[in-house]
Amino acid sequence: MGKAQKLFDKWSEQIPREARVQEVKTFLDSYFPHMWGQDGTSHIVVRCEALKDFPDYQPYGELSVPVKGGQKVKGYYIKQLIAAVRLLEASGDTE
């Protein structure tokens, strides 16, 4: 089991109050490869074509994840990432 899968399992069980940005990037590299970027800002932006079909992510299939102090991501956004992965798994749109 890879590190991203362990993070998914851990975060699915209990959403942390905060997570380190490097853990979030590891998670994104696995579940949203080549679909996210930070580009020198305080937000990580995930753009996934498959998410366009769901109302919470329209019109661009986008999810914005703010990085607190350049080092942490709040649990609310972790919860959104977990929900997005579950939506994609349920729709059969995972790689």
| Contact present, 74 and 68 (Cβ < 8 Å) | yes
| Contact present, 49 and 61 (Cβ < 8 Å) | yes
| Contact present, 68 and 17 (Cβ < 8 Å) | no
Classified as helix, coil or strand, 30 is: helix
> Can you give the length of the chain in residues?
95
Q: Where are the domains of the chain?
A: 3-91
For position 87, what pLDDT does the model report? 92
Residue-wise pLDDT tens digits, 35-84: 999 988 899 999 999 999 888 888 889 999 999 988 999 999 999 999 99
